[in-house]
Amino acid sequence: MIETPYVIIDEQKMKKNIKKMAQIAQKNGVHLRPHVKTHKIPEIAKMQIEEGAVGITVAKVSEAEVMAEGGLDNIFIAYPLVVESKIERAIALSKKINLIVAVDSMAGAKKLSELAKKYDHTLTVRLEVDTGLKRTGVLYDRAVELAIEINQLERLELTGIYTFRGAVFRGEPTLDLKSAGFEEGTLMVTLAERMREAGISIKDVSVGSTPTAEYAAQVEGITEIRPGTYVFYDKMQVNMGVCSLDECAASVVASVVSRPNETLLIVDGGTKMIATDARPNVFPTNLIGFGHINNYPEAVLERTTEEHGMVKLEGKEEIQVGDTLEIIPNHICTTINLHDHVYMKNEQEIRKIIVAARGKLH
């Protein structure tokens, strides 16, 4: 018997999702480099490679190390490295596998160059560009100037640019994913052309989150897409129209531990069980509660504390203490990171899989 709360993954649904995105990339003649932040499991990353992905994307050096140990040999760390110890680890890893690192500032680029020279190694780098999310990335209008400066540094080979924009169109959150994807792709292709005109050999133009990848991939000049959530999908993607509930391959199973009254029950997990970063009633996802309860769709996971999940009922549900609820999280990526292991089910078996890159912060 599996003790609750736990994450269960439907292997058949997951493999369909993996194939679907691989076909989108193939159809549009672009590379697929999925972000493994969603599952954090080398076995699943290998499934994505076997289906046609050219490599994987991670956010941390420690994630790259775990994936390399698990047999992945083409990895992009899509996060600026500026701390000396992390850069040294990336250089050591780069001597063993095909590694690409990120930069978004001259200060960071100089540190990469300095340490690459120290260890007699050349690093392949991509410049991150902020195309509207206002997160990491050089401002769009300053990107060409910075690229020219980086291109002059020793021991750095600037081969590409990348961005993460998500569902944003004309600077605002949107459900018009097609327009968002086309705008994202067009912005980056235009920028790459300007860099080439300045004498920089930009080969890789990398874009695309799960909501926008299908459309950004259609823009001529885009070479790579980096979706992540698609491997499992979640309620956030459902509400944005990216997938159906039936395509969601991962859910959290929790036990009812208390039913204080007809309209309230408590499950055996809260913020330690399911992610709460994708909050309800926020455009464009307009989520209700903290997940969709598959076996009781009218019930709402309305509140959470660390150990408790408070579910609001209509009062008619025949739910007893000891029953289980199967919940599709609003955000699956951060939910997986809460669990040391998950369970994979197919027609033959249910097996336990360690989440090897869980909690990797450095």
CA dist., res. 251 & res. 248, Å (int): 8
pLDDT band at 248 (very low <50, low <70, confident <90, very high): very high
- In this predicted structure, the answer to whether residue 165 has a pLDDT above a threshold of 90 is yes
Under a CB-based contact definition with an 8 Å cutoff, are residues 67 and 47 in contact? no
CA geometry: angle 136, 139, 141, nearest 5 deg: 160
- In this predicted structure, the answer to whether residue 33 has a pLDDT above a threshold of 90 is yes
| % of the chain residues with pLDDT over 70 | 100
For 11-229, CATH number? Answer: 3.20.20.10
Q: Dig out the tokens for 333 from the structure.
A: 């990526």
CA dist., res. 174 & res. 179, Å (int): 9
- Whole-model pTM? 0.97
Question: If you average pLDDT over residues 283-289, what whole number do you get?
Answer: 95
Give the pLDDT confidence of 88-134 residue by residue, as tens digits.
999 999 999 999 999 999 999 999 999 999 999 999 999 999 999 99
CA geometry: angle 82, 84, 85, nearest 5 deg: 120
pLDDT band at 316 (very low <50, low <70, confident <90, very high): confident
Domain residue extents for the chain: 11-229, 245-330
- In this predicted structure, the answer to whether residue 315 has a pLDDT above a threshold of 90 is no
CA dist., res. 234 & res. 332, Å (int): 6
- Fold category of 245-330 in CATH: Lyase, Ornithine Decarboxylase; Chain A, domain 1 (2.40.37)
Give the pLDDT confidence of 208-234 residue by residue, as tens digits.
899 999 999 999 999 999 999 999 999
- pLDDT at position 317: 84
pLDDT averaged over the chain? 97
pLDDT band at 200 (very low <50, low <70, confident <90, very high): very high
- pLDDT at position 40: 98
Question: If you average pLDDT over residues 12-30, what whole number do you get?
Answer: 98
Question: If you average pLDDT over residues 149-162, what whole number do you get?
Answer: 98
CA dist., res. 239 & res. 223, Å (int): 28
| Strand positions, DSSP E, 60-153 | 74-80, 98-103, 123-130, 138-139
Look up residue 216 and give its amino acid: A
CA dist., res. 38 & res. 51, Å (int): 17
CA geometry: angle 108, 113, 116, nearest 5 deg: 125
Question: If you average pLDDT over residues 337-358, what whole number do you get?
Answer: 97
